[in-house]
């Protein structure tokens, strides 16, 4: 059986639901877009996941997961603040920030999942295990591909808007 504290269980459930909303946003819009229903739910749940992460620590005290949570919160705040601007470049930065919050959220998710599952014989022992490093490399490649596609889409939309 996976041993999670009550806070760990709550954090995990919130995080999984946030990731589901991120996937829904990518399917619906091709990106996580602040101000949309899926984007807002993703963001709110991600904030709660970050807050609950501060109460979790295997080694005790501040850890890399806490640093990631701070970065995610900062990136979300900047992305929502950029909604106020009508300048073309802000769409690129906002998309980069929102997509990056998902990548940063998946780093501890991969580590925690692969060091716990399957029960009794986890796929990885620590962050340096090949299963984790290969999975994170795959996520990094998907992240770069997603950013390229999103950038091309934004450029296409802006070009179409200027032609009208």
SS3 letters for the chain? CCCCCHHHHHHHHHHHHHHHHHHHHHHHHCCCCCCCHHHHHHHHHHHHHHHHHCCCCCCCCCCHHHHHHHHHHHHHHHHHHHHHCCCHHHHHHHHHHHHHHHHHHHHHHHHHHHCCCCCCCCCCCCCCCHHHHHHHHHHHHHHHHHHHHHHHHHHHHHHHHHHC
- Residue whose pair of structure tokens reads 């909604």 in the numeric block: 83
| Average pLDDT for runs of 10 along the chain of length 164 | 81 95 95 95 98 83 90 98 91 97 96 88 90 96 97 88 65
Q: How far is CA 46 from the centre of its chain?
A: 8
Q: What is the pLDDT of residue 133?
A: 96
Q: What is the pLDDT of residue 31?
A: 94
Retrieve residue 118's tokens: 């399957």
Best CA proximity match to 26, nearest among 39, 13, 17: 39
> Which sequence spans correspond to the domains of the chain?
6-163
Q: What is the pLDDT of residue 43?
A: 98
Q: What is the pLDDT of residue 44?
A: 98
Torsion angles phi and psi, residue 123, rounded to 5: -70, -20
Q: What is the pLDDT of residue 53?
A: 92
Q: What is the pLDDT of residue 126?
A: 87
């Amino acid at each position: 059986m996976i041993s999670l504290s009550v806070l760990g269980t709550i954090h995990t459930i919130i995080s999984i639901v946030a990731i589901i909303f991120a996937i829904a946003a990518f399917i619906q819009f091709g990106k996580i877009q602040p101000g949309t229903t899926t984007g807002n739910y993703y963001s709110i749940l991600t904030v709660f996941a970050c807050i609950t992460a501060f109460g979790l620590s295997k080694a005790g005290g501040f850890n890399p997961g806490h640093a990631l949570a701070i970065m995610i919160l900062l990136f979300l705040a900047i992305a929502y603040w950029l909604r106020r601007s009508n300048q073309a470049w802000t769409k690129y930065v906002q998309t980069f920030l929102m997509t990056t919050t998902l990548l940063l959220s998946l780093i501890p998710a991969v580590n925690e999942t692969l060091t716990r599952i399957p029960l009794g014989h986890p796929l990885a022992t620590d962050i340096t295990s090949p299963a984790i490093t290969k999975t994170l490399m795959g996520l990094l490649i998907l992240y770069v591909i997603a950013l390229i596609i999103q950038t091309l889409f934004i450029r296409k939309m802006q070009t179409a808007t200027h032609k009208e």
